[in-house]
Amino acid sequence: MTKNFEDISESADTPFATENPVSIIPLGGLGEFGLNIMVYETENDLIVIDTGFMLPSSDMPGVDLIFPDIHYLVERQEKIRGILLTHGHEDHIGALAYVLRQLDVPVYGTQLTLAIATGRLREYGVLGKAQLNTIAPGDTVELGDFSAEFIHVTHSIPDSVAIALRTPVGMIVHTGDFKFDMTPIDGRLSDVQTLARLGSEGVQLLISDSTNAERPGQTPSERSIYDTIDNIFQKTEQKLFLCTFSSSLHRIQQFVDLASIHRRLVAVTGRSLLNNVRTASELGYLDLNPDYIIDARDASQFKPHEVVILTTGSQGEPRSALALMALDNHSFLKVEQGDTVVISARIIPGNEKSIGNVVNHLLRRGAKIYHERNANVHVSGHGASEDLKLMLNLLQPKFFMPMHGEYQNLMRHAELAESVGIPSENIRVAEDGELIRLTPETCEVFGREGRSGRVLVDGKPEIELEDIVLRDRIQLSQDGILIPIVILHSDIGTGANNAGDGSGAIEKMLTDIDDVDKIIQTDVPSKTALSAGQIEIISRGFVYMDKSEELIEEAKEITRRVIENLSDEQKHETEIVQDEIRGALRRFFSKQMQRTPFIFPVVMRV
């Protein structure tokens, strides 16, 4: 489990010091859940596996999505031979449109994966330029120095694959997300025979999913929740709401099958769920009886026990269908006394509070709630420790590197690898941005890509949010904002009396922000050289002005003294005046209140 790190460089300018090694660069997915993107590179060629995004946490106000920083790829786009996709979950394909806006490269994926990706590509206006190539498990694609073989694995979405890369230094197997489900919904087992064959050929490096490395045993089959859901159907006398991830198609198939058995019509709500159900049905990955499918807008026309509603919102997303129903804000669906809601999805770390809020509101509406913590209504699509050991034993790699998960998941997976016989010196626990060089004899971390990281998106994908803007938003959300407005008279030495004291300018500014009722007039000193006229202070989210008059008056006086202590030359430099006011008020409020608001001085001249 050693982490060899020779800090020879902060960039990847010279990753090929030995004869045609393979460099492996995780641009995302090592140290977090989501944002999965891995780069494999030789001196002449480069391929990318997956392009996922990540949803923001609660401490990222105003951030809509998080994409991986792909400067490394943009700088080497002439070498890129293709993007390979393992499956259709957003944490693996959600950034594809963002990537293809900047790179013109071919994309390879299974039929369902590409069909799901197509919707987002169309939405972001890049479908026309996308070079989409459909592959099937068992296919092999030649990509310069790389030969990619696709192997079927079971997961919570159909058409998932692992990828075996034959390279100049040996075989690399990238598992993608997987588990060994012995009774899969679609009847398609993981291709254990091919995995064993690859192991007998010799695997130089295995890079494997660590999501459930800390869970003991083997992940149960998707079918293991069937009886529980069936029992809920039997007990529910009114409306039944089933909430899951929009891409959990095996789960959705079970819901639809049970609805048919219990003679309930199925209504689907939520844009992503509607799109995925439609796409999977058209391609044959979902078996739907059209006689049992109704428009969600028509659900109220049937008796409550005749309807089941499939919906999104399993992570408590504020604008999701379930969250709107919980607040009785949905335009045509209601959760009422006696209804039952099943949240059939894993609670992603960080979303506990938002999910809890939704559950609380649903309970207030009189609903019965089932979720993974009080009923067997969810099973993971990722292998637990015994699944991971089985993959290690099938492939018997010389070197091993865990991927997908927080650092604790990676470390636990490394321990599992050591427990099945891989020497600790052959195990590499890497993180985003580190450069791993693979040769026939070594696998070493040898540097760091200086421009790896995250791109925060506010609204449209082309609107990137700088870190400093996020820091400002966080400070504003925690401590509020204070705006000192200062008038500096610029009639130096003239003694003119027709310039006014600047109160008109301040009144207009305060009126513009609906704060005119908080104007407190101050005496204007006689004008000599550059002097301070009227001073006002506006607070938003820091203190309540009407109950903090003494504090604000003292802050005004400090501001006035700061200006008086400046030389005329300094008073002519707006940035100097702002910096001095900001510093003085920060010290004052920190001492008085142990809080420091975002201070934005406005300096005006009349």
**Token representation of residue 20:** 């045609």
CB 182 within 8 A of CB 221: yes
Distances (CA, A) of 52 to 75, 99, 461, 465: 20, 10, 14, 18
Q: Which amino acid is at 125?
A: G
**Token representation of residue 353:** 């509070």
Residue 265: which H helix or E strand, with range? strand 265-268
* Interacting residues of 381 by C-beta distance below 8 A, sequence separation 6+: 155, 156, 157, 177, 179, 219, 222, 248
Catalytic pick from 209, 339, 387, 501?
Answer: 209
DSSP assignment of 33-55 equals: SS--EEEEE-SS-EEEE----BP
Beta-carbon neighbour count of residue 332 at 10 Å? 12
Radius of gyration of the chain from Cα atoms? Answer: 30
What distance in Å separates the CA atoms of residue 517 and residue 275, rounded to the nearest whole number?
A: 51
Q: What angle do CA 389, 394, 398 make, to 5 degrees?
A: 85
Phi, psi of 545, deg, nearest 5: -60, -40
Using left for φ > 0, alpha for ψ between -120 and 50, and beta otherwise, residue 567 falls in: beta
List % helix, strand, coil for the chain (3-state, nearest 5).
35, 25, 40
**Catalytic-residue membership of 489:** no
Within 13 Å and on the Cβ side, how many CA atoms surround 449? 29
Distances (CA, A) of 317 to 64, 107, 245, 358: 11, 30, 12, 9
Phi, psi of 561, deg, nearest 5: -65, -35
DSSP assignment of 392-451 equals: HHHH--SEEEEESB-HHHHHHHHHHHHHTT--GGGB----TTEEEEE-SS-EEEEEE-TT
Task: Measure the CA dihedral 443/445/449/452, to 10°.
Answer: 90
What distance in Å separates the CA atoms of residue 322 and residue 312, rounded to the nearest whole number?
A: 6
Catalytic pick from 87, 155, 250, 382?
Answer: 382
* Interacting residues of 127 by C-beta distance below 8 A, sequence separation 6+: 118, 121
What distance in Å separates the CA atoms of residue 278 and residue 491, rounded to the nearest whole number?
A: 72
| 5: DSSP letter | B
**Catalytic-residue membership of 298:** no
CB 46 within 8 A of CB 81: yes
| 289: DSSP letter | -
Residues acting as catalytic residues: 209, 382
